[in-house]
Each structure stands twice: as C-alpha cells, then as structure tokens.
Structure 1
Amino acid sequence: MRLRQLAVVTALLPLLALPAHAEARDASRDTLPAGDGWAAQGPGTTGGAAADAGHVHTVTTRAQLVRALDGGSDTPKIIKVAGTIDANTDDAGRPLDCADYATDGYDLASYLAAYDPRTWGAAKPAGPQEDARQASAARQAERVVLKVGSHTTLIGVGAKAVIKGANLQVRNATNVIVRNLDLRDAYDCFPVWQPNNGGLGDWKTAYDNLWLSGATHVWVDHVTFSDRGHPDADEPTHFARNHLRHDGLLDITNASDLVTVSFSRFADHDKAMLIGSGDTATGDRGRLRVTLHHNEFRGIVQRAPRVRFGQVHLYNNRYLVTGDDHRYSIGVSTESAIVAENNAFHAPGHIEVADLVKSWNGTALQQSGTLFNGYPVDLLTIHNAYNSGSERDLVADVGWTPTLHTKIDSARTADHRVAREAGAGRLP
C-alpha cells in the first residue's frame, strides 16, 4: 500500500509544482508548426499571433464580428468566436431572410416566368427581373460577405463555435489562420439562371463558406464545412435543374498560394473544393501550392478536390462516399500535379474504384498507399484501364516531390485518426 501511495504522490509532483496562476495553452496564439505543408514555406504562417491586447476580440454577434474584422484590415488581430453567429441578421441582431433582401420588385415566380428557356431561349437573362435580382443579391452581399485581412487568426472558442450564412473571404491577403469553427450554410437567396451552362443550362450561386482569392500563407485547421440547415437536395427543381443555393465549401482560386488544410471536415455537399480558377487562368501557373492532410470528405458529390495548375499534396485523408449522386472525388484538371499518399476511401457496393478519379485536361497523378474499402488499390492504373476514352490517361510523373509535410501514416492508421480528430471542436 505504501508503495502505491508513493507512486501516486510521485506522479502528482509535476502538477503540484505548477504556479497557482498557470493556465492552459492559448490556442488563439498558435502558429502553423514548422514543416506542416505548403503554408509552412518561407516565413511560415502565424496569423494574428503578434496582435497586441487591444486587437484580441471575443465576439458573439455579427455586429461584433464585423467590427473585429475591421473591414479586412492588415492590422494583426485575433478574433475568438463564441457561440453561434448568424450573418443573416441586421445591426440589432434581428434575423433576416430572403424576403428581407428582395427589392425592386424581384419575385422568384416572376423571374421564372421571364426567363423560361421555352420562351426566353438561350440568351443571357436581361431586363427588369434580372436587374431586380442583381439589386437584391447586392443587398444580401452587404450582410453576408465578410472580409478577413492579413495577419488574422479567426478561431472558435470551445466545441460549439459556429458562423452560419456567411461568405468569409480572404482576398489578396496573407498570413491568415482559420481554426476550430463550424462554417455552414452560405446560402444564396438569388441564384442566377445561366442558359448555356453545361449545355442544358444551370443555376449559378454566389457564395462559398470560405473563399481564398489571391491569398497566400493560409492555414485552415479543425474546421467543419457543410450546408447544414438548407441542403440543396431539399430545394425544388426549376427549368429541369436543381435550384442550387450553395457554391463551394472551400475554394482556393485566383493565384492563391501556400495553403495548408488540416484536420477539417467537409460534409454533405455537391462541389466541395475547387483549386484553380479555370482552364484559361494561366496566371495560376507556379501558384496554387496546397497541402490537404488528415481531412474527412463525407457525402461529397465532387471536387474533393478538383485541381487546375496547382501542386497539391493530398495525404492521410478519409473519404466516405455515400449516395447515388457521387461523380468523383479527385479531379485532375489542366496542368495540375497531384501527389496522393495513403488516403482511405469507404464506398457502397455500387461505387467502383474507377469512380474516384476523373481527368479532364490534366494527366499527372502520383498515388501510393491508397485503401478502398480496406483493400489496397492503384488509382492511376485502374483509372486508365476503365476510362471510356472520354478522359485522358494519367501518368505518375508529376514533376515535383513534397518535402513539407507532417509524418505520413499508413492509410489505415490515418483513417482511424481522422475519424476521431477531424472537424471543429476537436483541437488537441
């Protein structure tokens, strides 16, 4: 008994030695660890760690969040989000809905009647209802578009920090950290009809939950992205096309560069993540260097991610493919160079390995250590064997070798770890 008591006292000695004022680590001052993906290159990513006491804010309302963001200023700042903040609220905190934004006579029924392809044809919408739609959309944008400036850390407090309905934009900014947040439902009240999109026409929406545009040195960590609240599957069909209300969950475009996305969760969405602006955006060459590791993609239809031009390191991620509408997970597009290591895919019986990768103008995919329903597979070989000729064959020579990364676990080990640790509310 005495030996057991002695062992307990010995174990407690380090705790007893702590000063009375000792506190837990302040995660809001965390910086990206050295070597943790592309965002660690050069000076690394420190966000608002250098902020003075006057620029550390705890916010609980949209109005407070807007003041703390300071119009996207470059002043070093730390913004702690506590509870749920709804971007669709007025300055007094009163909830707003789509009817509150509608102006100049906009009405969905009138819009549909005006631009019905059977009578309007294939021309771009123009006229009073389109003008009213644009004016209404501008009113909503004044509320929901929130700009995040350079040298900013935006972090959730505790396990239930939520920003909903917002389009967070990191535009032409550098050194930004976004952590421990549930970002949900960037809902566009006024999607535009595009008659010539995809040959059949389609609805185009405006808002991503988080948009990086011309941004550099960005770390996105332990963030949950979803449409929670207004899933597109519940929206009606107009002109034989789903009336989409959501764009991407996280888009990285317009020559953004040096980005690390880690331990985050992307759930129940169509087009999750676009890296690269378009096939003709040659200004993206040499940029769009992105690391994605220890993330979960659950119920994602496509773009997990789709890559143009970028050098993307995709390792230790977990994919849960669900539903009959799945199109692909990894999109290999124009001049992209993707290195995919030790990723785990779970899929129902009607999904084949060949369904996981789609190639357009891109050809470079280096893969290793992939698991599909627990079995090792070669994504490149299977893609080339089963593509119908409508896609280009893939080659393993991507022209670069990742050097900035954490320890790369086996796909099986990473699969279990991501299930436990990815997403908001799970900071270590």
Structure 2
Amino acid sequence: MKTSYQYKIKPTKQQAEKIDNTLEMLRHQYNYLLAQRFDWYEFNRCPIDICPLICHLPELRKQPNYYNQKASLVQLKVDRPWYKEIHSQVLQEVPKRVELAFDRWLKGNINGKKSGRPRFKGKGQYKTFTYTQFKQHHFVNNKITLSKIGDVKVIVHRPIPDGFKIKTVSITKKSDGYYVTLSLEDQTVPAIKPDFNPDSITGIDVGLKEFLTTADGETVSVPQHYRKAQKRLRVIQKRVSRRKKGSKRRQKTVKQLGKQHKKVADKRKDFHFKTANNLLKKYDVIAVEDLNVKGLARTRLAKSVLDAGWSSFLLILTNKAVNAGLLVIPVKASGTSQDCSSCGVKVPKKLHIRWHNCPNCGCSLDRDHNAAINIKNRAQGHRVLKAQLMSAREPGVAEKPTLTRSR
C-alpha cells in the first residue's frame, strides 16, 4: 500500500535561500529543455504533404527525448558549474517533467485525451523538486537530511506508521512556507479489511443545495468556503491591482493574497477529509456518481461547483477507502434523479423541482434522497463489489492492522 504524508519544515535563512536558488535554477533548465522540444517540433514539421520526384529536403534534427536530455546534464554542469549545487537526482527530474508535459500535448493519455500546449514557467512558478531515493536514517529526531541543503527541522504532527518505508521526498514552496512530502509504502498491508461487510453499503448524491445526501436520508450542508471569503479576497485583490508591478509592496500584497487563497483551500480540504472519515466509519461500501465535473464547471453554476470541490472530495474518499481496506464504487450518473427509487419508473422533473413524487407508486421524498437510493441500488451486485468479495473470502490473507481512518 502507498500513501503520502506532508509536514511543514522550518529551514534556516541560509537553507531557505538554497531551496529558492534550487527552484529558480530548475525553472531555467525546465524552460530550456522545453524550448529544445518546441524548436525540434517547429523545424521538423511541414505543411506540404507531397513533393516532386526530385527535391531537396533538409536533414531532420534529432528528436529530443528524456534520455538524451538527461545525458546533456553532464555537460550542463561543466558549462555552468553552479548547477553542481543541485543533487543529481533532483536535476534529473526536470527532463522527466518536460517529457510528460510534451507527451500529454502530442500523444495524450492512455485514453487518447490530449492536454494543452505546455507553457514556460515564469518566476516563482516552479515550486517543487523531488529526491527519488531516500535513506531511512536521514529522517530522525524531527530533522530530515536533504542533500546539498543540510539538516532541516520538521514539524512532525503525526508519526509515520510502523512498517512503512520512505520511497521519495519532495520539497514544496507554498505561500505560507516550505513543506516536505514523504511517499510511503508497505507491501505487507492487505488490500481488503479482514472483517469487510458488503451489507454495510450506502449511496451518496452530491449537490449544491446539500453537499451530499446518503441513501439513509442523512445530509451534509454545503460550507461555501470561497463565497464566505470573497469579501476579504476582493479587498486584497484590489490592493494588488493598485500596486506598481515589480515593486516590493506588490510582492508583499501578492503573498498576502496567496495566503488567503491557501486558507480557503485548506478549509475545504479539511472539510473533505472529515466528511470522508465520517462516512467510512459508518459504511464499508460507498457508491458514488461517476460525474463529469469538468463539464459542470463550464455552466452557470461553475463557481458553486468548484467551491464545493466534488472531484477533490471523491478522490479523497476513494484514497481513504483504499487505505482502510474498504470500497468506493462509481456508478453511472444518468437518470439517478429522474428514476423512481421505489418502482423504477422515470419521473421527469426540472432542476428547480427539489421533491420527487411518483404518480405510479406514490413514492414521495426529497429529490437528492431519491437519487442516493438509486445510486445504492445500482452499486448492489456491481462487478467490482463481487470481485472484492471473492478476494476477501480467499484463505491465507495475512492480517495486519491497516492505517487508521482518521485524517
């Protein structure tokens, strides 16, 4: 099983300068390698698809890839000796990022979906670097040893679970300071909880009137963190717009704005974790809608949809369920609000109609509650649930305590 723990670190003034210089040098190298890719792409492509029998074609340039760009880092340290201050593994992560960004643009992901053209990173936009290998004894007594930086103080607000090994370490600069993210792994933790109960199942319907409604009729209200903070954000944003570009006063105000946005994001994330934790304490199987949140974010309800953060919540819920040996099943979202949960007859209703009244069987209940019951019914007998049950019944599964369901 894999998981990640993030801690805040307290570097000294000299260590903070080293981290900032490392991020800035990595940003320059990222932009340089990305420019190499664009030069090759523009030089080798041609709008003409036919030519005469006798023609002269220029010699094509060698395509930059991860391996030859990684090999060029040796010459980089010769031409620019200050790059020797960066750990080799940290520097080798840059061509890997460029490779991923460029391939997502030209080739797309495993489903063939392509992303936008990669952008050059401006000052302060490169915020994370990673050590791909890490020794366990370099993290003891609330201090972590980072190569080329030194021993940095860590605020360990929760201990690392027994048996988990640190695989990678990432350093991130945020608006309120520096953080370290530890990627942990333990291959002995079973995938399914030994006392997995498939009958402890519910369905949840997420919405804007209520954040979610369960099949049992329980609701969680929408906190609206961003809308409550809009007034304060508007004041700071106006203050930023009045400052002269490039001035220290503008930089100070931009940092203040970033802290306010991070405060909103942290509140939302904390709400998501606590809500997911409460659900997983009550149920072993949770059925959710397979929503197209990106499509919903292009409607008139975009601000409310993004403020609720459905995608982040469902991702957190799924990850916490995996860590606890439980199950989250996505089901088809179409028709969950229109179909009657009692008799299955389709009862068309517009979005502003918030109550479900079935003329066929007389079922009358809240629209979201009806949808949650439909989601639960669709999950029962799902192939994913059957596969998990077969795995759970296999003998000889080693029992080991999984991670607690707390945040």
Which structure is higher in strand share? 1
Higher relative contact order (CA 8 A, sep 6+): 2
Instruction: Give the structure with higher Rg (CA).
Output: 2
Higher helix share: 2
TM-score by length of 1: 0.26
